[in-house]
Structure 1
Amino acid sequence: MPAYAAYATNLDPDKMAQKAPHSPLRSTGWLTDWRLTFGGEDRSFQGPIATVVEAPGEQVYVALYDLTEADEERLDGAEGMEMGLFRKIRVRVQTLDGDVVAWTYALDDYEGGLPTARYLGGLADAAEAGGAPHDYVLALRARPCRSNDA
């Protein structure tokens, strides 16, 4: 089974249980030399969408799932792969048990724009539910954002 590195709202175990009900959580870890950012503002009614980009010295907290083939297809649909919104990339995840090669989704669009406060709060809530360290969750909550009305 391929390992999937979940970030953003997919850190929430309840959401992942709905999107990939037959795929167990393997562990958690970090995408080292990557950062969480936002982009594709005109592709979503909510504004910019979370994605990851390479960035030396930064890191993104992830949850690793062993995805079944059927759940990978379900997740692809939920993430908008058929619309070309995301592409799959291979990444190296640092875990307490060693490095794991996994795949994740990266936005296939430009970087830029501020997420709404609601969306950013949802990302922080998902990170908290997924076991992210407290300082990581606080940093998410402190990121710049725009009002939900914008």
Structure 2
Amino acid sequence: MHDRVWGGREKVIPARGCLPTPHCVTRLSGVPLYAAYGSNMDPGQMMQRAPHSPMAGTGWLVGWRLTFGGEDLGWEGALATIVEDQDSQVFVVLYDVTDDERNLDRWEGSELGLHSKIRLRVQTLEGSVLSWLYVLDAYEGGLPSARYLGVVADAAEAAGAPADYVEDLRTRPCSGIGPAAAS
């Protein structure tokens, strides 16, 4: 269902006659696209973190599930990550990250060993495209803070995720005080 590429490069062919819209994936370089599933789904946040990395579209990681982990790492709660799950899919926003990759690595804590990069295929309306993304180097489990979960839900909404996907994020169990907090 999905195709992992753990090394090497694969050329992604751009869609012909395609305008850069959230539903149309374009390639601005030969480097695979970055797939964001957490707070980086927000195009405004990505503009601050990676100003030379335009949004290239949206899609789904089929056979993967959004979850949270690393609650014990000292943050205010668990952080977003993904795990394989045949019956699930995760909404992602694709960015053409070129010159900004090192800056984004620092933002994501890659130098601290918080995340690893993997390559996966994203299903878009234009077909399957190769992407890279960060996954948390920690055990699955724990609750995100209400604040963080709200940031992720707002990011998904800003990127044009389906309303039911955003609602699912807003109603997930979480810790802390706030509108998304668990009862």
Q: Same fold (TM over 0.5)?
A: yes
Alignment correspondent of 1:126: 155
Alignment correspondent of 2:16: none
Alignment correspondent of 1:95: 124
The answer on 1:147 being equivalent to 2:176 is yes
Higher helix share: 1
Alignment correspondent of 1:55: 85
Counterpart CA distance in 1 for 2:54 and 2:110 is 22
**What secondary structure is seen at the aligned counterpart in 2 of 1:23?**
coil
Alignment correspondent of 2:12: none
1:111 aligned to 116, 128, 140, which one?
A: 140
The answer on 1:65 being equivalent to 2:95 is yes
Could you report, residue by residue, the CA deviation over 1:59-79 in whole angstroms, capped at 9, with x for unpaired residues?
1100111111x2010100000
Runs (4+) of structure 1 exceeding 6 A deviation are none
Could you report, residue by residue, the CA deviation over 1:44-95 in whole angstroms, capped at 9, with x for unpaired residues?
3211110011111101100111111x20101000000000000001111000
Question: Which consecutive unaligned segments of at least 5 residues does structure 2 have?
Answer: 1-30, 179-183
Identity within the alignment, %:
61
Counterpart CA distance in 1 for 2:145 and 2:95 is 28
Could you report, residue by residue, the CA deviation over 1:17-41 in whole angstroms, capped at 9, with x for unpaired residues?
1111111111100000101100011
Alignment correspondent of 2:58: 28
**What secondary structure is seen at the aligned counterpart in 2 of 1:109?**
coil
CA contact (8 A) 2:77 2:175 kept: no
**What secondary structure is seen at the aligned counterpart in 1 of 2:100?**
helix
Counterpart CA distance in 2 for 1:44 and 1:64 is 29
Counterpart CA distance in 1 for 2:143 and 2:36 is 21
Counterpart CA distance in 2 for 1:25 and 1:63 is 7
**What secondary structure is seen at the aligned counterpart in 1 of 2:174?**
coil
1:100 to partner: Cα distance: 0.4
Could you report, residue by residue, the CA deviation over 1:86-107 in whole angstroms, capped at 9, with x for unpaired residues?
0001111000000001110000
Aligned length: 148
CA RMSD of aligned residues (A): 1.2
More RCO (CA 8 Å, sep 6+): 1
Higher strand share: 1
Question: Which consecutive unaligned segments of at least 5 residues does structure 1 have?
Answer: none
The answer on 1:84 being equivalent to 2:113 is yes
Counterpart CA distance in 2 for 1:148 and 1:114 is 13
What amino acid is aligned across from residue 58 of structure 2 in structure 1? Answer: T
What amino acid is aligned across from residue 131 of structure 2 in structure 1? Answer: A
